[in-house]
Structure formats: structure tokens, C-alpha cells
Amino acid sequence: MSSNLLEGDTALVTGAASGIGRGIALQLAHEGARVILSDSNTSDGQQASDQLRDQGHDVDFIDADLSTKEGPGELFRKASERLGGISVLVHCASPPRREADNVLAVEDETWDQMLAVNLRAGFILAREAGREMIARNIRGRMLIITSLHAETPRNLPHYSAAKAGQTMTVKELAKAFGPHGIRINAIAPGAIPGGGFDATGAGIERLTRCTSLGRLGTPADVANMAVALLCDRFSSYVTGTTVAVDGGIALHNWIEPVEL
């Protein structure tokens, strides 16, 4: 049931074609925000947008490749123009990660793409949003979806490095934008099927056993926390922090021994 916590807000959500990003876009729309969904997966992103529009929500879709030099800036300009300004930014986009891309195997191109989409694009989008919010005197809010692996090695060095960089970027942005009334936080999800890992077989059973609450998470679990962090009713005095939405999995040593 919607409580219209974000009524009047205009939001851009990256990585919104599936998984956590799609779940967040859905929940923001349910809470009254006008939402631009963005993703490099045009077909799934447009389908997600059409589904929300059919439910009566004010949404649109913009395809964007955030790995390119021009991609983040172009996306922000297009989204801001369509919405007439952005008051909420959610950066969830991240390239697919493969378990085979370990320390010895990850290619330079794969490393560069992971850092470009997660870290470089996230910073550029937040910087441009901050500039606009300050110029328009908007008390905006931003959210970056990072990872538990910002602090826990996973033998996916490009992914862990990108997420660790995001965590510090959130702190830097929060410190810089706070005096202007702009808040920025992060969420570190746990094991969320559809959130970037292979949710099949024995691995699922093992992850479930290692989760204190005894179940894997859902995109809705993350989306509900996203709404809480993006609305002033529940978090007007919260900025620069990372909230784990993980069912307690970080309390356990759930990472398999490294084999090179």
C-alpha cells in the first residue's frame, strides 16, 4: 500500500531493467515519484517502464551506456530535461560479473568497464545532480547501491575495488553536499537473486544457511530501505552512511576459500 512518501519527487534510477534497480524504480513510482528508468538493456528496460506506465505511474525509459566517456553526462541531461529537474538519484547500474574473473584471470577491459560503470559514472551522475540541486535550491537525495564486498574480498578484484570506491565516494559527496541540504547514502545488499549472482543449485542452499534470517533477500527488501533513505520522513538526519540489507549474512564467513 502506497503512502506517497515521495509525492512530488522526480527520480532517475540507473540499472533499472531488472533485479534491484527495477525493484527500486517500482517502489519509487508506487510512492508517488515521477521516475526515469535507465539501462543499457533496452528491451528489458522499456518493458519495465511500460509495465509501470500500464499501472498508472508517470515513468519513462532512457537507454544509456554508462561505460562510455559521454554516457553519464548525456543520461543526466536527458533525464533532467524530461523531468524538469531531478530531486532523487539512484545509481544501481553495474556490469555483469563472472566468477571466473579472479585476480589472475580478469582482463584489462573487464576491469575498466566495471570501474567505469560503478565508480566513474556514479560520481559523474552525482556531481551533475548536485550541481543542479544547488543551482535550483533543491534539497535532493541520492543513493548508490554498493556491496558487502566493498569491505570483504571476494576474489573479484575489479568488482570489490569498484564497490569500495563507491563507499568512499558516498562519504565525500555527503560531506560536500550536506551544507546545501543534499543527502547521499548507500545500500549494501546481501544475497539477492537477480541482484548479480547465479541463484541456482547448492550455492543457494549454502547462502541460505549462512544468512541469519534463514532466507535470501528480494529486490523489494532493498527497495523498501531505499525509500526509507530517500524520504525525509524517516531519514532526514542520515547522510554519508552505508546500510547493509543482508539478512545478517555479513555476520558469517560465507565466502568459499580462494582457488587460483
Counting other chains too, the contacts that 203-206 makes at CB distance below 8 Å and 24 or more residues apart are 206/254
Count of all residues that appear for the chain in the document: 260
Q: Which residue has the cell 539501462?
A: 39
Q: Which amino acid is at 131?
A: R
Q: Tell me the three state secondary structure of residue 132.
A: helix
Partners of residue 11 on adjacent β-strands: 35, 88
| Cα torsion angle, 68, 39, 183, 248, sign | negative
Q: Which residue has the cell 564497490?
A: 163
Indicate the burial class of 81 (C-beta count within 10 angstroms; 0-12, 13-18, 19 or more): exposed
Which of 76, 123, 159, 177 is an active site residue? 159
Cα 65-69-75 angle, rounded to 5 deg: 50
159 assigned to active site: yes
Q: For residue 75, which of 45, 102, 39, 123 has the smallest C-alpha distance?
A: 39
Catalytic residues: 159
